Amino acid sequence: MVNNVKEKKRKQPLIRTAAGSLRGEWAGERPADAAVFLGVPYAAPPVGNLRFMAPRPHPGWTGVRPATGFGPGCPQLPRLIEAGTLGQPRFPPRFPQDEDCLYLNIWSPELEPARSPVLFWIHGGAFTNGSSSLPWYNGLRLASAGRMVVVTVNYRLGPLGFLYAPGTGDSNAGLRDQLAALAWVRENIAAFGGDPDNITVAGQSAGALSAIALLTAPAAQGLFRRVIAQSPNLGDGPLSRGEAAWNTHQYLELLGLRPSAVRELRRLPAARLLAAARDLEQREARFFNPHMVFQLVTDGETLASPPLEALAAGGQNKADVLIGSNRDEMAAFHQGDKRVLGIGREGVLERYRPVFFEEADAVYRQYAAARPGATPGQILMDLGGDELFRMPSLRLAELREAAGHPAYVYQFDWQSPAPGFGACHGLELPFVFDNFAEWKGAPMLKGLQRNRVALLARAIQQAWIAFVRNGDPNHAEIPHWEPYTTARRTTLRIDTALEAVGDLAGAAKRARWIRATRPAQAAGGSRAA
């Protein structure tokens, strides 16, 4: 699958891990950019009595295990990645799914004891969808360009990963999977040429929120050095134990089970669990409120409190942080949504009066002035993007500065050539991975001329590589990018031109969001975006 023709005679890479030996393949063109190991198990299959439980160590194997094909992703129903506006029914292609899904993939340019930096990537998908086998996350070009090891990981999703049922399963099983994978990488990555003392945890969307959660999770301390969080949805989650317990109560009701029969969940087919989860999401759906029913829970064990609250209380490690959001995040979810695009001014105010109260009219005028000629629907999406993504990310940057570890902040403003998408959620991914060929058929990139973004993609990717290597994203091909401080609030604005801008969000906007959202964050996260 990945061997270059010129490499047919080259001996396939063989690596010994704590669980057994793995045989991978060579990939690339010069004559081989990296050794690739796909479908590497990092924990025992979470099936049977291990459903809903914390991951257990893999029992290992005898002989040499082939690592030349992706492992299955967690069972899931079609959602955003297959049926939403980021994709269409045939984009991306379907992938194998099974409850036996705890696998990771490794791209390594140097297998000798090189101690190369390691990027540990957590995929997004609202904690209900996605897989590390998706072509979006092909790490070959990134590993080759950065001379670093790239790892992508599967974890349990939806009710299989985030059902809250004390006494029946372990809370945050999906987050525990990520922790187990991270511990596996720290123990074994030196054999693949990686440096276990220089690991960056990175992700986008739910993967970015996971990375931020790991920043504050007690069990993750000492396992990594840096964090890259691309569009973390910090405005929604985690759930409190009370919220999660209520969701479980409703879920059992939809399955026709009594609360005392929660153990029956371990015997039901996965397809039935997923169907009931979809029904619960539909029951809980509110207009312009993409609230995640199955997601992280502040269980008092893996997560003591919401990340922003934990950071405010000083519960954080000294990891370097790079964080940012996209200018038009919500366009990915509502491009083509007639109810959103056709809303009037009063509809927007009705949606946001419970957030801003008497300031709602002033906030609307402020957002309208910032986007001349915008329709109320566009203003609604701007508000939603700020509430869910941008403003909480800036709050995190403020907290990092207060702790003496300032973060680097970016805003991705480059506009999709396809009408209606703007700088939508996820649009930065092909720039970071520099794998535009893997996005063939993506509606948000329709009409893209690859040669016109090649240099921009290189500048972005090199910034991410520099950060993974030494905690500083600066390099010769971008303007000087300072860490975010309350004095200067430097943000790298990424567009056809790159510029380091002071307070790109604006003081007046920030002040209103602080007044509107801090009480909600202290209570466990906003539910409004």
Please identify which residue in the block is written with the tokens 């971008």.
Answer: 478
Tell which residue, 416, 395, 444, has the closest CA to residue 327. 416
- The catalytic residue among 205, 231, 325, 393 is 205
Using left for φ > 0, alpha for ψ between -120 and 50, and beta otherwise, residue 224 falls in beta
Q: Which two tokens stand for residue 495?
A: 């567009």
Instruction: Enumerate the H helices of 302-390 as residue ranges.
Output: 307-312, 331-334, 338-341, 345-356, 360-370, 376-385
User: Beta strands of 109-162 (E only): which ranges?
Assistant: 116-122, 149-153
- What's the Cα-to-Cα distance from 89 to each of 83, 125, 508, rounded to whole Å? 5, 16, 42
* The amino acid at 132: S
d(CA 385, CA 58): 41
| Sequence-distant (≥ 6) Cβ neighbours of residue 482 within 8 angstroms | 488, 490, 500
Q: Compute the C-alpha angle 129/240/103, nearest 5°.
A: 30
| Sequence-distant (≥ 6) Cβ neighbours of residue 454 within 8 angstroms | none
Q: How far is CA 434 from the centre of its chain?
A: 17
Q: How far is CA 489 from the centre of its chain?
A: 24
Through-space distance between the first and last CA atoms of the chain, rounded to whole angstroms: 42
* The amino acid at 183: A
Answer for the pair 155, 178: CB distance below 8 angstroms, yes or no: yes
**Active-site residue flag, 205:** yes
d(CA 341, CA 409): 30
**Active-site residue flag, 309:** no
- Which letter does DSSP use for residue 103 in this model? E
The side-by-side arrangement of strands in the sheet containing 149-153 is 25-27, 34-41, 103-108, 149-153, 116-122, 194-204, 226-230, 320-326, 408-412, 490-494, 498-502
Instruction: Work out the burial of residue 215: count CB atoms within 10 Å of its CB; fewer than 13 is exposed, 13-18 middle, 19 or more buried.
Output: buried
d(CA 137, CA 140): 9
- The catalytic residue among 291, 425, 428, 438 is 425
**Active-site residue flag, 405:** no
Query: What phi and psi, each to the nearest 5 degrees, are found at residue 236?
Result: -140, 85
Torsion angle of the four alpha carbons 9, 10, 11, 17, in this order, in degrees rounded to the nearest 10: -150
- The catalytic residue among 329, 387, 398, 438 is 329
Residues with catalytic annotation?
205, 329, 425
